[in-house]
Amino acid sequence: MTVRKMVGIALLLCTGWASIPGLAEQPVRISEPTKLDLQFMAQQRQLLQDLAAINLGRQFSGDRDRDLDLLQTLLDQQLVRSDQVRELQAMGVIMGDLLAADLDMHWVIYEDREGRSRALRYRDGDNYLFPITMIARRREVGNQTPIVDIYQKAYDIIDASRPPAPFQ
C-alpha cells in the first residue's frame, strides 16, 4: 500500500478534526478566483472539449446527463487514463460546472493550512465541494466509481443542507 493511499484512508477514518490540537485555530481564507484561475479553468475545459471532439465527435453542452455520460465515455474508452492527472482534474472542472448550475453554487478559492484549492461554495455559507479532485483522486488509486455516482454523492451532500423551497 502506498503512503498516499494510507494517508487517504487515514483521512477518511478520521472524524474528530475539531479535537486535533491546533487544527481549529488554522484560518480558512475564501476569495474570488483570480483572472489567472479563471483562465486556467477555461484552458482545462477546452482541453476536454478538444479531446471529446477529436476522438468522439462530441461536445460538452452543459446538459448534465449528456455531459456526465461524455465524461464516463472518455474514461471507458481510456481516452483519459488514471495517470493523466491534468485531464482527470479537467474532468472535475466540467463536473463542477454542472454541480454549480444544479445547486446554485459558485467557484471560489479556498485556502487553508493544506494549501490553495479551487472549490464550489454554496451561497455565502460554509458548504464547499472540491470537484476538481473528486475524479482524479479516485482514479489514481484504482477506484472505478462511475462518474454519475460521484456527481450524485456530491449533489446529495449539498442538497441535504439546502433549505426547502417555499411552499413545499
The pLDDT > 70 percentage for the chain reads: 83
Q: For residues 149-158, give the mean pLDDT.
A: 97
Cα(57)–Cα(66) distance, integer angstroms: 13
Tens-place pLDDT, residues 58-91 = 999 999 999 999 999 999 999 999 999 999 999 9
Which pLDDT does position 60 carry in this prediction?
98
- What is the pLDDT at residue 40? 97
The pLDDT tens digits for 95-138 are 999 999 999 999 999 999 999 999 999 999 999 999 999 999 99
Mean pLDDT over 1-11 rounds to 40
Q: What is the number of alpha carbons within 13 Å of residue 166 lying toward its C-beta? A: 0
The rounded distance, in Å, linking the Cα atoms of 117 and 133 is 10
Is residue 95 within 8 Å of 135, Cβ to Cβ? yes
57 vs 18, residue with greater confidence: 57
Distance CA(70)–CA(14), nearest Å, equals 34
Model pTM? 0.82
Q: Three-state secondary structure along 8-70?
A: HHHHHHCCCHHHCCCCCCCCCEEECCCHHHHHHHHHHHHHHHHHHHHHHCCCCCCCHHHHHHH
